[in-house]
Amino acid sequence: MTDVKPLNVLFLCTHNSARSILAEALLNHVGHGKFKAYSAGSSPRDNQKPNPMAIATLQKAGISTEGLTSKSWDVFAVPDAPHMDLVITVCDNAAGEVCPYWPGQPATAHWGYADPSEAAGGDAEKLEAFLQTLYQIKKRLEIFTSLPVGSLSKMALENSVRELAKK
């Protein structure tokens, strides 16, 4: 049996504080070593940190938050950055922006989710929005992680992941 190198997946959002952080942590949790997830933002604010409700939601779900930070997507466009096999935008703003050149031209897809940090109401309603977003991401990632990644070409991977956007 040969070891297959994990597939590197980058989740992008505008600020890299909520949806992309949830997706990174969740894929690293459910990916069974077949995937290595990262996240970044197209324009994180100065001193941006992951949304405390995103961290609380992950912790409540038993998912590690160790090492989660908000960072610019520029971190992944430099020559010594990890090579990405797949880049998934998780917010509509980032999907419409011109992405940097990704070395190796990874497969790309867009999975749109509403921003849970903009949910109406108080903390209880916002926390529920974060839980719903986590659940929506989890549904797609469970299907994604069941794909036979080692045998997928870039085009097949891209088509499969784009199909999941419709689910």
**Residues 105-159 pLDDT 10s:** 788 888 989 999 999 999 999 999 999 999 999 999 998 888 876 656 666 767 7
Tell me if 164 is assigned to some domain.
Answer: no
Name the percent of the chain in helix, strand, coil, to the closest 5: 40, 15, 45
d(C-alpha 93, C-alpha 70), whole Å: 17
Q: Give this prediction's pTM.
A: 0.87
Residue 161 lies in a domain: no
Query: Which structural domain, as residue segments, surrounds residue 95?
Result: 7-155
- Assess if residue 1 is contained within a domain: no
Phi, psi for 81 (deg, rounded to 5): -70, 155
Q: How many domains does the chain have?
A: 1
CATH number at residue 138: 3.40.50.2300
